[in-house]
């Protein structure tokens, strides 16, 4: 049975992905589409509702992104958020202009139309999250104002007859007190969604579609050893069986024991056609003397392609290439109008060198937590599914210096100690990501009766719902103290351990 669909039109806002995530959290399947989609193409998808996202532009400027005006006349419920609200007003004939005073962060919200179905069960006064310099000065015909703030007279508006709704604030972020209730009202009361979408159904439908697409053709998978590529491989294996061959390029930059664990799961648990390429010497040779993190990513990405190309040619003609791309990869790799945060060697690199018909990316529209749920549905062992996220270039970007075998071994040991003590403290599932970094800082220390001049290891632990923003975790001092003591005493070459207490933004989750 096909699931009910809500479409999110992306106008390049930093929270666009988070809107989709919140919709799925409410049990409604959601897909993100570019704002350039035509009204006809959108209608053909038969969505129950459409959400227009935020964005960094001003709707009244000629070059700003706009969807078709006809979209508002399809009779499909539409919710505009921030830029999406201003765009709805602009397209419907209202006036949008620079605000006398912009609003950023937490702002007091007052409902003026509490009887609106959008605000059912919402408190008359609450706090919302704003981020705008423009505002709706004049409402379009047929719309009424539904909420206000001190500096924004139309913080929400509605045209009940046309089923068009808009909010200037961001209901998808946790800082908006009524956000989840507002989205629930839009999805269930206004769009009539049942809210019964589950990952099990998604996995079944995806496998069925893959099976139909693949037919009798051969499939190869670029397996990096991370959670994403492993789940993608198992999903493809469920559909293709022995037609799939997984090529695991072990670049020697994985965490301690990780390569062996991946091989055990693929060979023993799922009986896959599995090729492990031990290419540690090749990668370390190419990385000799390289210190710039983007250069490291580039070197590793290029060598990964070369090795994968070499091994894939031994298999012969293949129909499909499986990649473990997930939605945050797409966002941070500069898809659409979004800003490039970092490069990813697993997005769009392999097609240039491998002879195949089509790419299969079964996880492309899933967030990290959804990938884990899909993995559990597929029967992957919990220990593997709940492994820590890991950058494609591996430990190379967590070594803030040139990569050498000695530095890799040092960081593997320090990281293993950190992960072990976090698990011993019962905190493994409560922390979204945690790892050790080998910094390029050396300092004087004292061990026994001698003076040392050794490396500093930094520890990083964050909590996040989407891996696009994150807060540091206040790990108890006794746990940090034990980790520090063990690393300094058990890992030669380290005499100092520090803990990172920076959020994302302004920092990234990774150190590099």
Catalytic residues, by residue number, are 82, 170, 172
Spatial distance between the Cα atoms of 157 and 147, rounded to a whole number of angstroms: 7
3 state DSSP class of 310 = helix
Spatial distance between the Cα atoms of 214 and 57, rounded to a whole number of angstroms: 41
List CB contacts of 302: < 8 A, sequence separation 6 or more: 286
Spatial distance between the Cα atoms of 259 and 387, rounded to a whole number of angstroms: 13
Question: Which of these, 108, 125, 116, 121, lies nearest to 157 by C-alpha position?
Answer: 116
Burial class (CB in 10 A: 0-12, 13-18, 19+), 333: middle
**What pairs with residue 130 in β-bridges?**
105
Spatial distance between the Cα atoms of 110 and 126, rounded to a whole number of angstroms: 7
3 state DSSP class of 286 = helix
Spatial distance between the Cα atoms of 134 and 310, rounded to a whole number of angstroms: 54
Burial class (CB in 10 A: 0-12, 13-18, 19+), 325: buried
Spatial distance between the Cα atoms of 252 and 307, rounded to a whole number of angstroms: 13
Phi and psi at residue 47, to the nearest 5°: -75, 150
Q: What is the largest CA-CA distance in the chain?
A: 82
Spatial distance between the Cα atoms of 434 and 415, rounded to a whole number of angstroms: 9
The distance of Cα 247 from the centroid of its chain, to the nearest Å, equals: 24
CA angle 417, 421, 425 (to 5 degrees): 175
- Residue 107: enclosing H or E segment and its boundaries? strand 95-111
> Are 255 and 412 in contact, with CB atoms under 8 Å apart?
yes
Spatial distance between the Cα atoms of 390 and 434, rounded to a whole number of angstroms: 10
> Are 173 and 15 in contact, with CB atoms under 8 Å apart?
yes
List CB contacts of 453: < 8 A, sequence separation 6 or more: 442, 443, 444, 445, 495
Structure tokens at 249: 């390029």
Q: How far is CA 40 from CA 33, 48, 72, in A?
A: 14, 15, 12
Q: How far is CA 254 from CA 130, 251, 385, in A?
A: 41, 7, 16
Spatial distance between the Cα atoms of 78 and 70, rounded to a whole number of angstroms: 12
**What pairs with residue 273 in β-bridges?**
245
Pairing type for strands 156-159 and 164-167 reads antiparallel
């Amino acid at each position: 049975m096909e699931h009910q669909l809500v479409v999110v039109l992306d106008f390049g806002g930093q929270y666009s992905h988070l809107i989709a995530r919140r919709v799925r959290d409410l049990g409604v399947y959601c897909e993100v589409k570019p704002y350039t989609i035509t009204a006809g193409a959108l209608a053909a998808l038969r969505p129950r509702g459409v959400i227009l996202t935020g964005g960094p532009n001003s709707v009244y400027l000629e070059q700003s992104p706009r969807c078709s005006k006809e979209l508002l006349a399809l009779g499909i419920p539409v919710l505009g958020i921030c830029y999406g609200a201003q765009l709805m007003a602009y397209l419907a004939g209202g006036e949008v202009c620079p605000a006398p005073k912009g609003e950023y962060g937490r702002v007091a919200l007052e409902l003026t139309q509490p009887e609106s179905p959008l605000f059912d069960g919402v408190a008359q006064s609450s706090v919302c999250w704003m981020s705008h310099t423009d505002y709706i000065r004049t409402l379009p015909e047929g719309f009424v104002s539904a909420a206000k703030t001190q500096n924004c007279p139309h913080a929400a508006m509605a045209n009940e007859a046309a089923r068009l709704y808009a909010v200037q604030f961001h209901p998808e972020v946790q800082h908006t007190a009524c956000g989840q209730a507002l989205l629930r009202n839009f999805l269930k009361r206004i769009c009539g969604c049942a809210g019964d979408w589950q990952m099990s159904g998604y996995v079944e439908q995806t496998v069925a579609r893959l099976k139909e697409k693949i037919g009798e053709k051969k499939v190869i998978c670029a397996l990096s050893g991370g959670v994403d590529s492993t789940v993608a491989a198992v999903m493809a294996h469920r559909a293709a069986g022995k037609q799939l061959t997984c090529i695991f390029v072990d670049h020697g930059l994985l965490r301690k024991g990780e390569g062996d664990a991946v091989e055990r799961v693929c060979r023993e648990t799922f009986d896959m056609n599995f090729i492990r390429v031990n290419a540690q010497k090749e990668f370390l040779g190419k990385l000799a003397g390289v210190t710039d993190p983007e250069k490291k990513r580039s070197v590793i990405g290029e060598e990964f392609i070369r090795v994968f190309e070499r091994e894939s040619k031994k298999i012969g003609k293949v129909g499909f290439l499986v990649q473990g791309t997930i939605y945050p990869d797409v966002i941070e790799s500069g898809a659409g109008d979004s800003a490039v945060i970092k490069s990813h060697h697993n997005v769009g690199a392999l097609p240039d060198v491998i002879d195949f018909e089509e790419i299969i990316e079964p996880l492309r529209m899933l967030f990290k937590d959804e990938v884990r749920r899909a993995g559990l549905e597929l029967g992957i062992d919990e220990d593997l599914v709940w492994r820590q996220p890991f950058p494609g270039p591996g430990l190379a970007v967590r070594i803030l210096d040139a990569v050498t075998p000695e530095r890799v071994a040092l960081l593997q040991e320090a990281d293993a100690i950190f992960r072990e003590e976090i698990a011993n403290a019962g905190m493994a599932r409560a922390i979204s990501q945690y790892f050790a970094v080998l910094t390029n800082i050396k300092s004087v220390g004292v061990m026994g009766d001698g003076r040392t001049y050794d490396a500093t290891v930094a520890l990083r632990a964050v909590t996040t719902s989407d891996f696009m923003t994150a807060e540091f975790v206040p790990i108890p001092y006794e746990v940090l103290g034990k980790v520090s003591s063990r690393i300094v005493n058990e890992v030669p070459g380290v005499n100092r351990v520090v803990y990172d207490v920076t959020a994302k933004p302004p920092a990234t989750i990774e150190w590099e």
